[in-house]
Amino acid sequence: MKIFDPHVHMTSRTTDDYEAMADAGIVALVEPAFWLGQPRTTVGSFVDYFNSLIGWERFRASQFGIRHFCTIGLNPKESNNPKIAGEVLSLLPRYLDKDGVVAVGEIGFDDQTDAETASFRRQVDLAAEFNLPILIHTPHRDKKRGTVRSIEVVRAAGFPEERVLIDHNNEETLPIVLETACWAGHTIYPNTKMDEQRMAALVMKYGSDRVIVNSAADWGISDPLKVPKTIDVMRAHGIRDDVIQKIVWDNPVAFFAQSGKLDLAELDERPAIDRSQKFETNSVLRGEQVVSR
Amino acid sequence: MTDSARARLQSLLRARIDAPAMQWLDDAMSSQSHDELCRAYTAAPKHVGRAPIGVAEYGGWTADDAARCVLLLGVAERLEPQVFAAAAIECFERGDSREQQSWLRGLSLMPQPERFRAIAVDACRTNIVPLFESIACENPYPARFFPELNFNQLVLKAMFNDIALARIVGLRERSNAELTRMAADYAAERRAAGRSVPSDLALAMQHPIHEELAR
């Protein structure tokens, strides 16, 4: 089965992960811009991070036969840093029209402060201006209220709900999101957020319309194979393959295709691997033989 | 107050570290530049070690925490308030995780501690649990200086990290209706996910519950 992982932080992962993901059927992924595990102290760190998302990381994925897309945005946590937030927001228009940038994100709430609200609203307006969908991170703490407030921000801006993916849902927030026209993402983690069994139960209860799953794997305890592992569990629960295919491919592709930057014919083919290629004179080869597939 | 806090820490240190280490600390207090101060701040454990202070009033402090606090308090006496604040912030921003922990532990002893509120709030966003604990636990600063929203987020984050709520100083005094609601929602979310609810959750719910929540 072809898999699209719509949320995975590959910058934190190794080439072994890329190989295992390709072997498990992952053909394409989206890497949302987020924070890096510790606060950045200057705007220049964001410039370099955004450049790596549209540059080196995209190339690195291609070397394992995986198409890499990204979202660009100022994350909720760092929206609280008045020293850099304004400068980062001013930087975003330079990135949003670039190839492979398929949404504005991750944006939304963390501590649910006034500064986060302001940054969130401003980026919803930017998404409207650049005709991009948005990816909303819902907070770990006080999640239900944060989800409701996120929907309020989208509605207050008059932003079309069908162009909004609300992520990291759980048993309490999924029904809230499904009452809107927004899409509902679920992050399958080893210990926190959502697990495979609970996800299968949610699909059996609520169906597959606008339902999406991702691994969100990052530098914490996480697993970039969680989408294929969730497929196995859904199958074990008797969920039909066409339903699963909709959740792990059709839905994320339909959502991000709204950016106008997914070439659907191209997505049908796994990119050819040519490891003789170089990105600004760098190769992923470290003395190994050149592989072409 | 500043002077007595410094004198008290120095006397605790004098009983725990040797004379050359005390001499090093005295010399370091006369650091003339930001750079000299930051280097001494970093080097403290090399000279004074990391033995626990072992006094309830300084829960979790080690000798290097105390020495770093003495260093900043000493410098604060000599410098203009704004120059001192800039130097202290530099020690934090250029510090590694241990240096930042020392800094946060001693924060409420600094002159005009409220001016460092933004840094203390921001420090709570860390994913490094010992760093989070250094501001959230056995530390009077959040209860004294955090706005309600940030204090509530601190308590919820402690729950997320399985940190005993009894370690949060002033939790009872700062309890409020919003925190009670957040804790109740957290319990509901955990139950919906088939997970356990922290046994000390009630400590975050010491404010009379709204009628609609009680139903």
Residues ≥6 apart with Cβ < 8 Å to A261: A69, A99, A100, A101, A102
pLDDT of residue B127: 87
CB distance from B125 to chain A under 8 Å?
Answer: yes
Question: Is pLDDT of B2 > 60?
Answer: no
* Mutation choice for B interface testing from A111, A143, A145 by most B CBs within 10 A: A111
Contact B189 A81 (CB under 8 A): no
Q: Are A111 and B149 in contact (CB < 8 Å)?
A: yes
DSSP string, A182-234: SEEEEEB-SSSSB-HHHHHHHHHHH-STTEEEE----SSS--TTHHHHHHHHH
Whole-number Å distance between alpha carbons of A248 and A253: 9
- What local confidence, expressed as pLDDT, does residue A290 receive? 62
Among A234, A241, A267, which residue's Cα sits nearest to residue A253?
A267
Please indicate whether, in this complex, the C-beta atoms of B186 and A37 are within 8 angstroms of each other.
no
Q: Which residue has the tokens 């649990």?
A: B129
How many residues belong to chain A?
293
- DSSP H/E element including A157: none
- Helices B34-48 + B19-28 axis angle, to 10: 170
Q: Express each pLDDT in B139-190 by its tens digit.
A: 999 999 999 999 999 999 999 999 999 999 999 999 999 999 999 999 999 9
Quick: pLDDT tens for A229-282.
Answer: 999 999 999 999 999 999 999 999 999 999 999 988 888 888 778 777 777 777
Q: How would you classify the pairing of strands A67-72 and A26-32?
A: parallel
pLDDT in tens, B108-140: 999 999 999 999 999 999 988 999 999 999 999
CB count within 10 Å of CB A143 equals: 20
| Sequence-distant (≥ 6) Cβ neighbours of residue A270 within 8 angstroms | A22, A27, A65, A66
CA distance A118 to B152: 21
Contact A113 B149 (CB under 8 A): yes
pLDDT of residue B211: 44
CATH of segment(s) A3-261: 3.20.20.140
**Nearest-by-Cβ selection for B125 from A77, A145, A220:** A77
| A25 against B32, higher pLDDT | A25
Which pLDDT band holds residue B215 (cuts at 50, 70, 90)?
very low
Which tens digits make up the pLDDT trace of B49-105?
A: 999 999 999 989 999 999 999 999 999 999 999 999 999 999 999 899 999 999 999
User: Who among B127, B156, B192 is closest to A170 (CB)?
Assistant: B192
Would you state the torsion angle of the CA atoms of residues B83, B87, B93, B98, taken in this order, to the nearest 10 degrees?
-150
pLDDT score of A191: 80
pLDDT for res A38: 85
Closest CA to A225 of A24, A45, A2: A24
Query: What does DSSP assign to residue A6?
Result: S
pLDDT of residue A279: 77
Test the B interface: residue of A45, A141, A189 with most B CBs within 10 Å:
A141
Residue A21's H or E segment, with its range, is helix A15-23
In the structure, how many helices (H) and strands (E) does chain B have? 13, 0
Q: What is the pLDDT of residue A90?
A: 96
Structure tokens at A125: 């307006």
Going by C-beta distance under 8 Å and a sequence separation of 6 or more, which residues neighbour residue A63? A18, A273, A275, A277, A284
At A184-226, the pLDDT tens digits run 999 999 887 799 999 999 999 999 999 999 999 998 889 999 9
Closest Cβ opposite residue A140 in set B121, B160, B182: B160
End-to-end Cα spacing for chain A: 20
Q: Select the residue of A82, A142, A171 nearest B193 (Cβ to Cβ).
A: A171
Gap between the Cα atoms of A100 and A54, Å rounded: 7
By CB atoms closer than 10 A (0-12, 13-18, 19+), residue A146 is: buried
Angle at B89 (CA atoms; ends A83, B160), nearest 5 degrees: 75
A194 contacts in B (CB within 8 Å)? 193
Q: In whole angstroms, what is the distance from residue B124 CA to residue B105 CA?
A: 13
Amino acid at A69: F
Kindly tell me if the per-residue pLDDT of A73 is higher than 90.
yes
Quick one: closest CA in A to B154, which residue?
A: A111
Q: Which residues, 6 or more positions from B1, have their beta carbon under 8 angstroms from its beta carbon?
A: none
Q: Pick from B170, B178, B173: which is nearest to B135 by CA?
A: B170
- The encoded tokens of residue B105 equal 């532990």
Percent helix, strand, coil in chain A, to 5, is 45, 15, 40
Beta bridge partners, A26, equal A3
Whether the CA torsion A222, A76, B198, B189 is positive or negative: it is negative
Q: How many pairs of residues across A and B have Cβ atoms under 8 Å apart?
A: 50
Q: A31 in helix, strand or coil?
A: strand
Residue ranges of domains in chain A: 3-261
What's the distance, CA B106 to chain centroid? 6
Give yes or no for B179 touching A (CB within 8 A): no
Highest mean pLDDT among A38-47, A124-133, B195-204: A124-133
Q: Which residues contact A155 (CB under 8 A, 6 or more apart)?
A: A161
Residue ranges of chain A whose CB lies within 8 Å of a chain B CB: 37-39, 41, 77, 80-82, 110-113, 140-145, 170-172, 194, 198, 220
Measure the CA–CA gap between A48 and A178, rounded to whole angstroms. 37
Q: What is the pLDDT of residue A292?
A: 61
Q: B8 vs chain A: nearest CA distance in angstroms?
A: 34
Tell me the average pLDDT of chain B.
Answer: 92
Query: Cβ–Cβ of B127/A112 closer than 8 Å?
Result: no
Asked if A38 and B126 come within 8 Å (Cβ–Cβ), the reply is yes
**pLDDT at site A234:** 98
Beta-carbon separation of B185 and A144 below 8 A: yes
Which residue in the set A41, A142, A220 is minimally distant from B93, CB to CB? A41
pLDDT score recorded for residue B37:
92
Instruction: Enumerate the residues of chain B whose CB falls inside 8 A of the CB of residue A143.
Output: 189
Both tokens of residue B203?
A: 């400590």
State the average pLDDT over residues B37-45. Answer: 94
Q: Are A110 and A143 in contact (CB under 8 A)?
A: no
**What is the end-to-end Cα distance of chain B in Å, rounded?**
49
Given a contact cutoff of 8 angstroms between Cβ atoms, the answer to whether B176 and B152 are in contact is: yes
A171:B192 CB<8 A: yes
Residue type, A258: Q
Q: Which of B93, B189, B194 sits opposite A144 (nearest CB)?
A: B189
Q: What is the pLDDT of residue A120?
A: 98
Q: With contacts defined as CB-CB under 8 Å, which chain B residues touch A79?
A: none
